[in-house]
């Protein structure tokens, strides 16, 4: 163990770009006392359309930067990275760093709960193509709730709609209806839909207009924040490695001007980012 391994540092929040800010805003609202570094890999976004090898390589690189900045705990606030890179990082890469380093994702907190939320035990997942292909939601939900049937729908046009601020307009209707119908056609008994992508909470109202009212729509931010609080309470040794000064730093691997302009929609407040050169 080196000195750095025992000096408390910020909690790292990683995403492929802006989307993780929709998760971070809930984490910061629930746990404002911690220091945080948000790291958005906007230069290489989107991750949702990329291969396993690429997502793993990019995610690991960014996690290492966060460790180098003093973080001991990193949250992959990105479904695609959680689906495709988390397990390999936990099993293959983290052991090299030692016991004081942890990486957690956003899929498990929701999958731990969903079997108790759904009455029909038919659950829908809407996510990027990468997350759907990984089958992570299906595997995780079946681990906790073997009796739950999971139906998935990739929604590749939704991230671009949000990123171009077109998600509330009439142009979005076609693709929202198309993917919702494609999901619901898989089972008429779906009563719960997980919005398994960081961008989709911004489209919640639009998605709601095409989803029958008896179906619950689950956004992850508040669930992830609750589970993180619980995790830190249960793991006092990790909590002791998370500094508590209330300082929030934002990095983007792309232009800070563009990041700051778009970030406010996801974060719900002003952001002044710094550039990180990859």
- Estimate to the nearest angstrom the gap between the alpha carbon of 83 and the chain centroid: 10
CB of 150 to ligand DGL, least distance (A): 17
Is 71 known to be catalytic?
A: no
CB of 200 to ligand DGL, least distance (A): 8
Site string for ligand DGL, 185-204 (x = CB under 6 A): ------------xxx-----
State both tokens at 217.
């729509």
Q: Does 159 contact ligand DGL by CB under 6 A?
A: yes
Question: Residue 119 and residue 145: Cα distance in Å, rounded?
Answer: 12
Site string for ligand DGL, 111-150 (x = CB under 6 A): -----------------x--x-------------------
Question: Residue 42 and residue 28: Cα distance in Å, rounded?
Answer: 21
Question: Residue 70 and residue 34: Cα distance in Å, rounded?
Answer: 13
Residues β-bridged to residue 127: 154
Q: Does 45 contact ligand DGL by CB under 6 A?
A: yes
Q: Which of 10, 11, 16, 58 binds ligand DGL (CB under 6 A)?
A: 16
Provide the 3-class DSSP secondary structure of residue 58: helix
Q: Residue 160 or 245: which CB sits closer to ligand DGL?
A: 160
Place of tokens 């709601």: 208
Strand segments, DSSP code E, in 25-100 are 36-40, 73-76
Q: Does 153 contact ligand DGL by CB under 6 A?
A: no
Of 4-12, 43-51, 109-117, 211-219: span binding ligand DGL (CB under 6 A): 43-51
Question: Residue 1 and residue 6: Cα distance in Å, rounded?
Answer: 8
CB of 174 to ligand DGL, least distance (A): 20
Q: Does 253 contact ligand DGL by CB under 6 A?
A: no
CB of 158 to ligand DGL, least distance (A): 9
Cα-Cα-Cα-Cα dihedral of 171, 158, 132, 96, to 10°?
170
Nearest in space to 47 (alpha carbons), one of 58, 39, 37? 58
Show which residues are catalytic.
78, 197
- Contact residues toward ligand DGL (CB under 6 A) are 15-17, 19, 45-48, 78-80, 128, 131, 159, 197-199
């Amino acid at each position: 163990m080196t000195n750095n391994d025992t000096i408390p540092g910020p909690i790292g929040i990683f995403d492929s770009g802006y989307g993780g800010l929709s998760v971070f805003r809930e984490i910061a609202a629930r746990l404002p006392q911690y220091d945080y570094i948000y790291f958005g890999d906007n230069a290489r976004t989107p991750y949702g359309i990329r291969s396993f090898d690429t997502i793993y390589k990019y995610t690991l690189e960014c996690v290492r930067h966060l460790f180098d900045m003093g973080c001991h705990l990193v949250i992959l606030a990105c479904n695609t990275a959680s689906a495709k890179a988390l397990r390999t990082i936990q099993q293959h890469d983290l052991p090299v760093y030692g016991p004081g380093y942890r990486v957690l994702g956003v899929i498990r907190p929701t999958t731990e709960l969903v079997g108790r939320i759904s009455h029909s035990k038919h659950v829908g997942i809407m996510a990027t193509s990468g997350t759907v292909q990984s089958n992570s939601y299906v595997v995780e939900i079946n681990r906790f709730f073997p009796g739950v049937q999971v139906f998935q729908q990739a929604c590749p046009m939704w991230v671009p709609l949000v990123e171009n601020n077109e998600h509330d307009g009439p142009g979005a209707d076609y693709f929202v209806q198309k993917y919702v119908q494609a999901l619901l056609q898989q089972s008429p008994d779906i009563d719960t839909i997980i919005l398994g992508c960081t961008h989709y909470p911004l489209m919640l109202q639009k998605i709601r207009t095409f989803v029958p009212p008896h179906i619950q729509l689950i956004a992850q931010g508040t669930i992830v924040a609750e589970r993180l609080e619980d995790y830190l309470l249960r793991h006092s040794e990790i909590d002791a490695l998370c500094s508590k000064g209330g300082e929030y730093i934002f990095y983007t691997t792309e232009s800070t001007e563009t990041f700051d302009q778009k970030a406010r929609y996801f974060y719900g407040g002003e952001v002044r980012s710094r550039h990180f050169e990859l």
